[in-house]
Amino acid sequence: MDDIDRAILRELQTDGRIAYADLGPKVGLSASAARQRLQRLLDSRAVQVVGVTDPMGMGGQAMALLGLGVDGDPRTVADELARHGEVVYSVLTSGGYDLFAEVVCPGPRELLDFVNDVVRPIEGVRQVQSFPYFGIHTHRFLWDVG
């Protein structure tokens, strides 16, 4: 990946629907050269262009990152969490928690109920630490591409 590829990625992070006619000049290429560069990145699977929803914009008013301590295989707990629409994603970790899960609920009360009535009773869950964030929240997936 060279500097032009990284410039293309920076532009896509700002606007994933940018037209090649606009992208090319921003990265020092023609529109067709920008299209070819991006296609090469896509074909190599170094890059994926996907739509990311904003759960708060879709009606959720309470979000939290849950840190879970698990007895046994955390993949089993992650699979169980994945069955619930409130769970945006889960990720296995090594460190203080065995698993993190981000959840979205209509409000603070529903978030509390989800943690207490759904997450805590899952077999193998030993500990749940909730890191809530309420109100306006926008996900920003902006990794430094150089």
Which of 62-66, 106-110, 112-116 has the highest average model confidence (pLDDT)? 112-116
- pTM score, whole prediction: 0.64
Strand boundaries in 33-121, DSSP class E: 62-70, 87-92, 99-105
Spatial contact of 99 and 93, defined as CB atoms under 8 Å apart: yes
Q: How far apart are CA 46 and CA 67, in angstroms?
A: 29
Task: Look at residues 121, 116, 125, 129 and name the one whose alpha carbon lies nearest to residue 70.
Answer: 125
pLDDT of residue 48: 82
| C-alpha–C-alpha distance, residues 143 and 81, integer Å | 26
Q: Which residue has the higher pLDDT, 56 or 115?
A: 115
- Is 21's pLDDT higher than 90? yes
Token match 């000049």: residue? 25
CA distance 9 to 143: 10
Read off the pLDDT of residues 24-59 as tens digits, 9 standing for 90 and up: 999 999 999 999 999 999 999 888 877 666 655 656
pLDDT at 70: 97
For residues 64 and 132, give the distance between their C-alpha atoms in angstroms, rounded to a whole number: 4
- Between strands 62-70 and 87-92, the pairing is unpaired
Tell me the C-alpha distance between 42 and 128, whole Å. 38
CB atoms within 10 A of CB 26: 15
> How many Å apart are CA 110 and CA 22, to the nearest integer?
44
